Chain A
Amino acid sequence: MIVDQLINGIVLGSVYALMAIGYTMVWNVLRFINFAHGEVYMGGAFVALTTMYLGAPVWLAYSCGMLSGALLGYLMEKLVYKKMRTAPKLNLLIAAIGIAIVLQNSAQLIWGASPERLASPFLANNVNIGGMMVNQHYIFIIIVTIIVMFLLEFFMNRTLMGKAVQAASQNIQATELMGINANKVISITFAIGSGVGALAGILVGPVFLVFPTMGVFAGLKGFTASVMGGMGNIPGAMVAGLMLGVLESFAAGFISSGYRDAVAMVILLAILLLRPQGIFGKVVAEKV
């Protein structure tokens, strides 16, 4: 039972980690919580579902879903957030929630409310690992997450654009003065964060189904993971995502499944109060 819960936890945690990246990257450059990020997760999964329905092979459908997720994030920024750069944070927050409501309900209009299953070539098989039967799709999720983490790490540290994103998260005005196009950096950030978020949605689609409100709780969890890891800290967000998934799974298994979602919220509150810089964050003196 402990091993069961651990595997469930790691699978869930991988998804949370992928979600957390989107929140953290956007926070890095714009210092705001993109509450519509959960909807990217849902949108990507639905597009993958539709492409597959049209007869595309699995890999093509998954990539289409990811790309459309990235596009959705990009458009969100271009159409709404860009126009609100000088707005108070509260307005931005409410606008983000408004976008989430619009996207959820458009999805319901287009695809209907009933959950649908995204196909996966791996779901039907179990593999035997040391006497434990583990579903192949779970292993697929974990492997994909690890690959994405390495790719992101490479992008952030080894490419020019990645370095520009890092610079922008230090100080966006200074970045602009150095001749880097800040708008482009912000767009790229949104696109990458959203693409990864959409991938998370596509990965869970075969297990937890695809439906219009799927992004709400996934968004909250990803968001909690990003706070746990320290807002703006990408490796921190990944580790925190995994931790959250495992903790949640154990709590659901040994305490009560109804309070599964409460675990994340209690952790969120505790982190905010005791260690607002996150588990892996450094203490930064507030500039006055």
Chain B
Amino acid sequence: MEHIRKLGYRRLGLLIGVIALLMIPLGITNPYFMYVINLILIYILLVLGLDLIVGYTGQVSIGHGAFFGIGAYIAAIFSTKLGLSFWFTLPIAILATAIIGFIIGFIGLKLIEEYLVMATLAFGTIIWLVFLNWTDVTGGPMGIALIPSPPAMNFGIFQLSFTQYADYYPLLLFFVIVAIIFTKLLINSGFGRACTAIRDDELAAQSMGIPVFRTKVVMFTISAAYCGAAGTLYAHFIHVVSPETFNFTMSVTILTMVMIGGQGSIIGAVLGASLLTIFSEALRATPELRMLIYGLLIVIMMMFFPRGIMGIINYYRKQIEKRALLKKMKGAKATVDVKKEGLGYE
């Protein structure tokens, strides 16, 4: 009985939550805030994608900005030159980034640790240079402008014409929710557990019979596909793509979001993407100080809170749980001893 009631509450909670999220555009009248929220949703997709490989599989990539860019450029090229709509460019971009991700993963994932970092860095830079120099296709430094909006959608009660930022919100939210559910399913599956095993101890995983290399490549491919989807959404949302958006800085930004949110956590991904985006938009008023403060924040977070915001949250949650446990146990000593693993290094 108890169980069912709890389940009911959860359903109710889900329903209320989704409705609340859908109501956001009504509550926010300032289109700029809507723009920032949409940007956050795109970043969440990217961070979820990168977290699959960094947080769950333990392989570092500083080239994911390139996958984001490939997705965006494919959307831009196919929609402006061939006139394809968003619903066609999206699967094309996802497929293409997945294929490229597979190739890169297949070549690069044989490398370990720092060597993989270098290889992904080289890959990201090469792709960025291609965006910059293949002027006939990518428009060179000018990029591609006038990317059309997604076609209008009619749901009876309300319709999305994609003429204002609020219209993009439900679409982006839909993709983010799908991505969260997919991520959750993926990491709870046997395949996901194999990835976590590789992250924790590659050698042990191998001796347990997990095909380490194949697992890594598959995860890398999926991760690239997330970024491709985010790129397509970005291109159709901003309507212009240009190479600097997808350079080394973007790869670093995504990785920083993963690290600051906390690796291997969906809420961490959401938190990291939201906070860093808001932070960087809020600092727009002082362009000279913007990146300086941003850099300082990164250094301080990495020095003192290496496990990101989720690390801090977990630490305090454990402390509270311990206290509660101690209260329950009569006669126990009143000292609370929580291992500081949430805050410190491993």
A–B direct contact (CB < 8 Å): yes
Residue ranges of A at the interface with B (Cβ–Cβ < 8 Å): 31-33, 80, 83-84, 86-95, 97-106, 108-109, 216, 220, 223-224, 227, 256, 258-259, 261-262, 265-266, 268-269, 272-273, 276, 288
Contact (Cβ within 8 A) A98 B298: yes
Complex CA gap A216/B247 in Å reads 12
A259-B129, A265-B129, A273-B111 known; A88-B346 Cβ under 8 A: yes
Interface status of B87 (Cβ within 8 A of chain A): no
Determine the residue in chain A with the shortest Cβ distance to B298: A98
Residues of B contacting A92 in the complex (Cβ-Cβ under 8 angstroms) = 302
Contact (Cβ within 8 A) A98 B288: no
A108-B288, A256-B133 known; A265-B295 Cβ under 8 A: no
Interface status of B93 (Cβ within 8 A of chain A): no
Question: Which B62-121 residues sit within 8 Å CB-CB of chain A?
Answer: 62, 107-108, 110-111, 113-115, 117-119, 121
Tell me, rounded to whole Å, the shortest Cβ–Cβ distance linking A227 to chain B: 6
Residues of A contacting B291 in the complex (Cβ-Cβ under 8 angstroms) = 101, 104-105
Contact (Cβ within 8 A) A102 B303: no
Among candidates A89, A104, A224, A262, residue contacting B114 with C-beta atoms closer than 8 Å: A89
A89-B114, A256-B133 known; A94-B295 Cβ under 8 A: no
Tell me, rounded to whole Å, the shortest Cβ–Cβ distance linking B342 to chain A: 14
Residues of A contacting B289 in the complex (Cβ-Cβ under 8 angstroms) = 105, 109
A33-B114, A89-B114, A269-B123 known; A80-B299 Cβ under 8 A: yes
Contact (Cβ within 8 A) B295 A87: no
Question: Which B111-161 residues sit within 8 Å CB-CB of chain A?
Answer: 111, 113-115, 117-119, 121-123, 125-126, 129-130, 132-133
A-B contacts, 14 listed (Cβ < 8 Å)? A87-B302, A94-B252, A98-B302, A101-B298, A104-B291, A105-B288, A109-B292, A223-B118, A258-B132, A259-B133, A265-B122, A265-B125, A269-B119, A272-B118
Complex CA gap A88/B308 in Å reads 13
Question: Which B280-323 residues sit within 8 Å CB-CB of chain A?
Answer: 288-292, 294-299, 302-303, 306
Besides A91-B345, A97-B298, A269-B126, 5 new A-B residue pairs in contact (Cβ under 8 A), listed by A number: A92-B302, A101-B295, A227-B118, A256-B133, A265-B122
Residues of B contacting A273 in the complex (Cβ-Cβ under 8 angstroms) = 107-108, 110-111, 119
Among candidates A94, A102, A108, residue contacting B296 with C-beta atoms closer than 8 Å: A102
Residues of A contacting B296 in the complex (Cβ-Cβ under 8 angstroms) = 98, 102
Interface status of B259 (Cβ within 8 A of chain A): yes
Determine the residue in chain B with the shortest Cβ distance to A224: B122
Tell me, rounded to whole Å, the shortest Cβ–Cβ distance linking B101 to chain A: 16
Among candidates A91, A99, A108, A259, residue contacting B259 with C-beta atoms closer than 8 Å: A91
Residue ranges of B at the interface with A (Cβ–Cβ < 8 Å): 54, 60, 62, 107-108, 110-111, 113-115, 117-119, 121-123, 125-126, 129-130, 132-133, 203, 248, 252, 255-256, 259, 288-292, 294-299, 302-303, 306, 345-346
Determine the residue in chain A with the shortest Cβ distance to B114: A33
Complex CA gap A158/B223 in Å reads 51
Complex CA gap A124/B292 in Å reads 37
Residues of A contacting B303 in the complex (Cβ-Cβ under 8 angstroms) = 80, 83-84, 95
Tell me, rounded to whole Å, the shortest Cβ–Cβ distance linking A169 to chain B: 15
Contact (Cβ within 8 A) B133 A272: no
Residue of A98, A99, A258, A276 with most chain B CB atoms under a 10 A cut-off: A98
Residues of B contacting A86 in the complex (Cβ-Cβ under 8 angstroms) = 345
Among candidates B62, B115, B252, B346, residue contacting A272 with C-beta atoms closer than 8 Å: B115
Contact (Cβ within 8 A) A258 B292: no
Tell me, rounded to whole Å, the shortest Cβ–Cβ distance linking B346 to chain A: 7
Determine the residue in chain A with the shortest Cβ distance to B308: A91
Residues of A contacting B132 in the complex (Cβ-Cβ under 8 angstroms) = 258
Complex CA gap A100/B119 in Å reads 20
Residues of B contacting A31 in the complex (Cβ-Cβ under 8 angstroms) = 114
Residues of A contacting B123 in the complex (Cβ-Cβ under 8 angstroms) = 265, 269
Contact (Cβ within 8 A) A258 B345: no
Complex CA gap A225/B252 in Å reads 22
Residues of B contacting A105 in the complex (Cβ-Cβ under 8 angstroms) = 288-292, 295
Contact (Cβ within 8 A) B299 A102: yes
Residues of A contacting B113 in the complex (Cβ-Cβ under 8 angstroms) = 89
Among candidates B110, B129, B299, residue contacting A95 with C-beta atoms closer than 8 Å: B299
Among candidates B114, B122, B299, residue contacting A98 with C-beta atoms closer than 8 Å: B299
Contact (Cβ within 8 A) A33 B203: no
Residues of A contacting B108 in the complex (Cβ-Cβ under 8 angstroms) = 273
Contact (Cβ within 8 A) A98 B118: no
Residues of B contacting A93 in the complex (Cβ-Cβ under 8 angstroms) = 60, 62, 117
Residues of B contacting A102 in the complex (Cβ-Cβ under 8 angstroms) = 292, 295-296, 299
Complex CA gap A220/B62 in Å reads 13
